[in-house]
Amino acid sequence: MKPSARGPAGTGAGRVRTAESPGPVREPAASARVEPAASVRVPAQPGVADMDRDRVCGAGEPAGAARGEHTHGEPPPHRPRVLVQRSSVRGQILDALRTALVSGELRPGEVYSAPVLGERFGVSATPVREAMQQLALEGAVEVVPNRGFRVVERGDRELAELAEVRALLEVPVLLRLARTVPAERWAELRPLAEATVRAASSGCPATYAEADRAFHRAVLALAGNDQLVRIAADLHRRAQWPPAGAPAVRGRADLIADAHEHTALLDALIAGDPDMVRTLVGEHFGQPR
């Protein structure tokens, strides 16, 4: 006769035996009871590019990335770890590295290892390598087998060629837009032009580079050609990387002068003065920036 699965009549407190668990089932002790694992939430944090830009332009901390992919003898970086959100880590690291390129913190000709940069950002080496590989496709760095990535050394000729290509793309578009876009549409870009002046006044080249690209991107967007905007933005970013042998960053006065060219150009566009627009556009694209 099979044993009943119930306890004494009327109690209903018996323990069920199964084929997989033939012995008596015992309640775990209170101290050994396993609670369900609580879901881990990562608090929202500032983007890496913002934190890196603040560190580069605010605190004035010198660059200290170790060289070489092998890190056995490298001391840990003497700085607080910069933590990033785990969502879109690669994108945040890419933004931070681009900021470091513009600021001159990643110096031309130097080799930087993914593990040490990962330690600096508080992430594994994998997203750093992925971001560096994207920069390699953009021509900013080159892969050094078993060591890391070397920042490409670029000369004046390359910068002059980039400036020429940018002028060939943007100047004809600007002159055409000057004849076709109404003044009220140009006036809508005033906040972006003024933002470049504020960014230049901060003296931080990374902050200015971002505002500069935003203004040019908004101007070209009026042409309604997404491919033009994308290609021009890529050329603009590459033109902002400092060349080898030059000062690490552009001076504050140089940034402010460049920014005021934006406001002067916008004034001419709003006034509908094509001759002044042509003159200002020629000056703005007359030198690498």
What are the pLDDT digits (tens) for 159-183? 889 999 999 999 999 999 999 999 9
**Position 35 in a domain:** no
The highest-confidence range among 46-50, 194-198, 281-285, by mean pLDDT, is 194-198
Q: Does residue 226 sit in the same domain as residue 183? A: yes
Residue 105 pLDDT class (50, 70, 90 cuts)? confident
Domain for residue 199, yes or no?
A: yes
Of 131, 151, 171, the residue that ends a domain is 151
> Within a domain: residue 4?
no
Query: Both 117 and 202 in a single domain?
Result: no
Claim to verify: residue 163 and residue 267 sit in the same structural domain = yes
Q: For residue 5, is it within any domain?
A: no
Specify the CATH number for the domain of residue 127: 1.10.10.10
Asked which of 122, 151, 180 is the last residue of a domain, the reply is 151
pLDDT tens, position by position, 112-155: 999 989 998 899 999 999 999 999 998 899 999 989 999 998 88
Query: For residue 187, is it within any domain?
Result: yes
3-class secondary structure for the chain?
CCCCCCCCCCCCCCCCCCCCCCCCCCCCCHHHCCCCCCCCCCCCCCCHHHHHHHHHHHHCCCCCCCCCCCCCCCCCCCCCCCCCCCCCHHHHHHHHHHHHHHHCCCCCCCEECHHHHHHHHCCCHHHHHHHHHHHHHHCCEEEECCCEEEECCCCHHHHHHHHHHHHHHHHHHHHHHHHHCCHHHHHCCHHHHHHHHHHHHHCCHHHHHHHHHHHHHHHHHCCCCHHHHHHHHHHHHHHCCCCCCCCCCCCHHHHHHHHHHHHHHHHHHHHCCHHHHHHHHHHHCCCCC
Domains contained in the chain, number: 2
**19 is a domain residue:** no
Residue 242 has a pLDDT of 78
- What is the domain range of residue 115? 48-151
Mean pLDDT value across the chain: 76
Residues 60 and 134 grouped into a single domain: yes
Domain boundary among 151, 179, 210: 151
- The answer on 131 and 242 residing in a single domain is no
